[in-house]
Chain A
Amino acid sequence: MKTAWLVGQKVGHFVSVLFLSSLVLAGLLWFSPGSPGKAREPVDFDEIAVGAEVCVAATTCGTLKSMPAKAPDDPTVDDGFNFIKKFVQVQLPEGEQTVESGDVLAPGPSFPTWFFGVFWKGVLIWDIGPAFNGDPVLDVVMLGAKQTLPIVFGALIAAIVVTLVLVSFLTWLPFPSMRGLLRTLLLILSISPVFVLGFLMTKAGVLPHPVLWWVAPAACVGILFVGDSSLGEFLLQLENEYRHLRSRDYIHAAGLRGASLFKHMLPGLLLPLSSMSAAKIAFLLGSVVIAENIYAVQGLGTLSLRAATKPDPLLLLTLTVFITFVVALVTLVRDLLEIAIDPRIRKGGGH
């Protein structure tokens, strides 16, 4: 009963974090200059020229293809905004379609309508609307996730495996000075930013291959698990945990009995590993933006950059909430793992 209550608490926390993070982000986007609910300012026709950026709806902007056929003082139009609506053709940034007269002119929806009615309702019925390229937003996000998540989790697993091997090696190494030197060298390598490592790798000839599709993702995994201090932080934390665990009495006793140390140490290492993974996943999902951009991988990171600069607020919100969902999910798994492994939590002792 106690366990079920704890699990329910953690799931409730997960849902509330997900909802609140989407609310905060939606609020940020809503109050930004590019708010989806904000009507555009009327265009000053004394300054407008072909090639200028004009917007005919809250989120429909493009380059002015041709000058209006009628003068702006036409009595049938009352201001520049209506004038744009009636006479101007705007070439949209992508695709062939143009905005014709009378197509659009409406201020965006209110914040509750946009956040609940468009976004969350769209998530529930799996139809949020089109992204900047005309494809459904959720399809675009899922397609990006298929590229990004294997890279991020691959980097996480690679970091854990390599760190475990390194910790075992460093613990075995009989010379303390050599151990320190090796650790320092690894830390220096690891502190290099992802983009510097990516740049150096591309200069060294590791480039996206037209046939070997896995080269770019593998390179991304490589620079992600080493760069931005990922490997260094894992190494320091895990080495501390490993040494702490090795000094525990029950491990000594297991060693004296001739039992497998690995078997006894594994549950003790699982908790710190899951905590480290939960802390690192958000960081990796941020750094993947840089790695994907260098290797032209069409994942969540590249999409975030494009959605931010287009700008496409709905896609940006969906992408960021999806990324937050992944981070919160990993944290939930960590919490559930803690409940499963640590009997003190189940019996009410707490952490």
Chain B
Amino acid sequence: MDPNNLIHRDPGEESEDATLAGKIAQGALKDIITTILRWRHADIRLIFGTIVLLLLVGFRIAAIFIDVDTLETHLDVGRSSGFSTGGGFQTTNCRPVEGLLLGNDRNGYSLTATLVEATQAFFLPALLSCGIALFFGTLLGAIAGYFRGGLLESSTKLLLTVIASYPRLILVIVAVGFFVAYLHDPGRAVGMRLFLMAMMLGVAYVPVLALAIYQKVGAFQREQFIEAARAHGLSDVRILGYHILWANCMPVLARHFFYLFGYFILVETSLSYLGPEYGVPGSIPSWGNLLAGCSKGELFSAAVMAPSVAIVGSILGLTFLGDAIGERFERGRT
């Protein structure tokens, strides 16, 4: 007898074990397939949007700790320090580099690190923009929707029509270009430029949100629970603020929050692509100026495809998330 094998096992038992293992494996496989089949019915938009949002938040947090300078590859010899989209394109840049996941960018820095760091160009300004649009859009839409048939409604609607008549991008260009051109030191005006961009885009988005809230408030005004609240002597502010806006307009606000966040990414990257005069300055990396910086690179290279996919993926994800959350809220309430 083998001293190491103290328990005697005959061949019959071994075959039983194999059958049991097979059954367990079969059960596990069945579980996996069932789970996958169940996921087929999950809202893909919600999953994709949540992943995109988590990635964006993660990237923004990681950008605090990333110092792109320490990750440069030193391929672009003679380049001055700092991120720049102008001049100095080297044939060794925008290329795959050993040891760097996506290769390097126009300035020879790690493209992966720059992509992560570029989230700081839009993240906080986008939140500011959303805040402005949500506050003023809700306020104006609620006032116009609740106090119908009077001067307040008609004047608010006229104001919204006037703002809506400007193309949003033109309004941003007017403000950013005209204000920043007069600052003495454009390099120091980074915060001011992003603030202006956020503010103008927020203001330009107000009519869209206000119209949605206006329709919603108007529809709820005829509901019985609002009549009951009035009969109980609740004030207009409480009915409007709590019973209509807080309790019933959240889906609209959530949806437009994500739409505007995505739209801000679109505008910021578009303007940064056009040049440092319109978007973020050359000293700050942005997905837009990353793409512009590698315009001489090959079409299907990482340097071209990575920023493109990041831009399209983010906008798509946020739009999907807005749709999915809005629909889920609506379904939950009905």
Contacts and interface: CB of A to CB of B under 8 A. Distances in A.
Contacts of B178: 29, 32, 34, 308, 311, 313, 316
A89 interface: no
A20 B163 CA distance: 10
Interface in A18-53: 20-21, 24-25, 28-29, 32-34
B56 interface: no
Interface residues of A, number: 48
A105 B221 CA distance: 60
B312 A316 contact: no
A191 B315 contact: yes
Interface stretch (B31-39, B129-137, B179-187): B179-187
A222 to B, nearest CB: 17
A21 B161 CA distance: 9
A304 B308 CA distance: 26
Nearest to B301: A203
B174 A25 contact: yes
A106 interface: no
Given A228-B266, A305-B173, A305-B278, A32 B179 contact: yes
A47 B164 CA distance: 45
A33 B182 CA distance: 6
Nearest to A285: B167
A309 B312 contact: no
Contacts of A24: 162-163
A283 B167 contact: yes
Instruction: Give the secondary structure class of A's interface.
Output: helix
A34 B181 CA distance: 8
Contact of A195 (B161, B269, B316): B269
B308 A308 contact: no
Most buried by B among A32, A33, A287, A308: A308
A172 B115 CA distance: 43
A324 B162 CA distance: 9
Interface residues of B, number: 39
A32 B181 CA distance: 10
A194 B270 contact: yes
Given A21-B162, A324-B165, A309 B269 contact: no
Contacts of A304: 170, 173-174
Contacts of A17: 158, 161-162, 165
Contacts of B278: 305, 308-309
B59 interface: no
A323 B175 CA distance: 16
Interface string A288-308: 011001000000000011001
Most buried by A among B167, B183, B315: B167
A316 B174 contact: yes
A3 interface: no
A262 B182 CA distance: 57
A29 B166 CA distance: 14
A320 B204 CA distance: 14
Contacts of B168: 282-283, 286
Contact of B183 (A33, A193, A203): A33
B281 interface: no
B49 to A, nearest CB: 12
A192 interface: yes
Nearest to A33: B182
Contacts of A171: none
A287 B172 CA distance: 12
B273 interface: yes
A90 to B, nearest CB: 17
B91 interface: no
A16 interface: yes
Contact of A203 (B165, B170, B304, B319): B304
A188 interface: yes
Contacts of A228: 266
A111 interface: no
B169 A289 contact: yes
B66 to A, nearest CB: 24
B174 A308 contact: yes
Nearest to A289: B169
Most buried by A among B163, B169, B274: B169
A327 B169 contact: no
B197 to A, nearest CB: 13
Q: Which 8 A-B pairs have the closest CB atoms?
A: A308-B177, A286-B167, A286-B169, A33-B182, A203-B299, A34-B182, A285-B167, A195-B273
22 contacts: A24-B162, A32-B182, A191-B316, A192-B312, A193-B312, A195-B274, A200-B299, A228-B266, A282-B164, A282-B168, A286-B169, A289-B170, A289-B274, A304-B174, A305-B173, A309-B177, A309-B278, A311-B182, A313-B178, A323-B166, A327-B166, A327-B167
Given A191-B316, A203-B299, 11 more contacts: A17-B158, A20-B158, A28-B175, A33-B183, A193-B315, A195-B270, A196-B291, A200-B299, A286-B167, A309-B278, A320-B174
Interface of A: 13, 16-17, 20-21, 24-25, 28-29, 32-34, 188, 191-196, 199-200, 202-204, 228-229, 282-283, 285-287, 289-290, 293, 304-305, 308-311, 313, 316, 320, 323-324, 327-328, 331
